[in-house]
Homo-oligomer: A and B are copies of this chain.
Amino acid sequence: MKKIDICLTPELIHQHDLTGTVVVVIDILRASSSITTGIAHGVKAIRPVESLGECRELKLKGHIGAAERGGKKVGGFDIGNSPFSYMNPEFEGKKIAMTTTNGTETLRKSKGALQVLIGSFLNYSALLTYVERLPCDILLHCAGWKGKVNMEDTLFAGAIVFGLKQMFEYNSDVPLMAANLYKQARNNLKSAIEGSSHVSRLLNLGLEKDIDFCLKFDEYKIIPVLKGDYITKLKLSDMLF
């Protein structure tokens, strides 16, 4: 039987064998939501980079520069990590270089997988439909917050497990735990994450609009996929079935 598991933080990724596995990277607030938004709005490709230096360099080479640290846009770059800034019609067909507090590292640590996808509530059903049909194991890789497990990424991973109609074997207790948490929270996701540390952090920065948007289901029908150094839109020819 196909297996599904959840890695609650990139610091536990060594527990998982990525070979032959499709990994879904989850950083709800806000990297994976922003990537989904950008790709859905016609951004050609997004290159996740670790450092501000690399991001600056790519900006000099014609990329849009997107840089966030601690929830805030870094000075000297075009945009930060708000999904709304990824809707800019001027970015259509362009490339973005992006560096964020947690998301980028999670992507890097997912390399070696059969395929690396980006998941968010914004593309929930599209993602669920695709991963469910995959002939291989699935790992939901939560970015968390600076290595720590967080509520919103765990809830989204739980939403995926909860939504599966096919039988998957749980490779640890975590899928069951996350699905139970989601089941309990699903009628009011926002209130469920309001006690979360990262949400308080973003609310203090005046980013409630971002949070509300990142918790919307199925705004988009696309799936971002990491191919080489760039994230692009998953095409028919990329599908593994």
Interface set of A (CB-CB < 8 Å, partner B)? 8-9, 11-12, 15, 145, 147-151, 154, 170, 172-174, 176-177, 180-181, 183-185, 192, 195-198
Kindly list 10 other residue pairs between chains A and B, CB separation below 8 angstroms, not including A150-B173, A173-B195: A15-B147, A15-B148, A148-B173, A154-B173, A170-B197, A173-B196, A176-B195, A176-B196, A180-B184, A184-B184
Given the known interface contacts A11-B12, A15-B11, the answer about A172 and B197 at a Cβ–Cβ threshold of 8 Å is yes
| Chain B residues, CB < 8 A from A148 | 15, 172-174
| Chain B residues, CB < 8 A from A177 | 149, 151, 154, 181
Total copies of this chain within the assembly: 2
- Nearest CB on B from A180, distance (A): 6
Query: Which one, B8, B183, B196, B197, contacts A8 given CB within 8 A?
Result: B8
Query: Which one, B149, B172, B184, contacts A172 given CB within 8 A?
Result: B149
